[in-house]
A and B are shown apart, each in its own frame.
Chain A
């Protein structure tokens, strides 16, 4: 069972908010004694998702949670926006697929960096992506 220990909601609308968000995610990861490599994975994943949110949906909200399961602690990030949504999630999760001018690594690459990855999207309503990285694992 996964318990949520703390919850922090951050609005991301401007570029400065992105810097603030990344600092908060890093602080949270350090607090639960996440190793440096996992911290880097989590922050890179966060960076990819927040960029998507800025580019396609003009920003949104990120919830930072510390979660606990047995002896293991982790950080869960929930990114939600009210953007255009993703019409074909399966295609968006394929390497090299992009509707923007990027490399198309954002979503599939992010999934490889974290332990849990969940995406829900409705066209015209928005997108919610939840990722979880355990301190050890």
Chain B
């Protein structure tokens, strides 16, 4: 999903709810958020992004934020916003690759767990 405007608060909250519902409905494994058109991220927006990541995580989907402008990154750090649990990538393509690798990894883990369980039952 690509955010093309500077969000004001109500819009951001709607986005959060809609996105998490979509993850559930489509049983998505990954969420990619493109914020290259967003010129400021304040503590409220940062918290929304963090919330989306944590909620998606509970629904078993990984979140990658891509396209953050350098000035936004500088400001976020000075503001003191950690953005915990949010993966980031430089652009859309790298973000997709990161998502793919993360999803493959979790599936491999699941397979391994499966075999381990099988061994125990045997």
Contacts and interface: CB of A to CB of B under 8 A. Distances in A.
A109 B46 CA distance: 13
B8 A113 contact: no
A103 B47 contact: yes
Nearest to A104: B43
A39 B70 CA distance: 12
A102 interface: yes
Contacts of B71: 36-37, 39-41
A105 B43 contact: yes
A44 interface: yes
A15 interface: yes
Interface in B14-66: 39-44, 46-47
Interface in A93-120: 95, 102-103, 105-106, 108-110, 112-113
Nearest to A16: B8
A44 B75 CA distance: 8
B9 A15 contact: yes
B72 interface: yes
Chain A contact surface mostly: helix
Scoring B10, B46, B72, B75 by chain A CB atoms within 10 A of each residue's CB, the highest score goes to B75
B80 A95 contact: yes
Contact of A40 (B44, B46, B74): B74
B93 interface: no
A37 to B, nearest CB: 5
A103 B81 contact: yes
A102 B80 contact: no
Given A19-B8, A43-B40, A113 B79 contact: yes
A112 B76 CA distance: 11
Contacts of B118: none
B79 to A, nearest CB: 4
A104 B8 CA distance: 19
B39 A43 contact: yes
A37 B47 CA distance: 21
Nearest to B45: A47
A51 B9 contact: yes
Interface in A43-63: 43-44, 47-48, 51
The 6 A-B residue pairs with the shortest CB-CB distance, nearest first, are: A109-B79, A40-B71, A47-B42, A105-B43, A37-B71, A43-B40
6 contacts: A15-B9, A40-B71, A40-B74, A103-B81, A105-B43, A112-B79
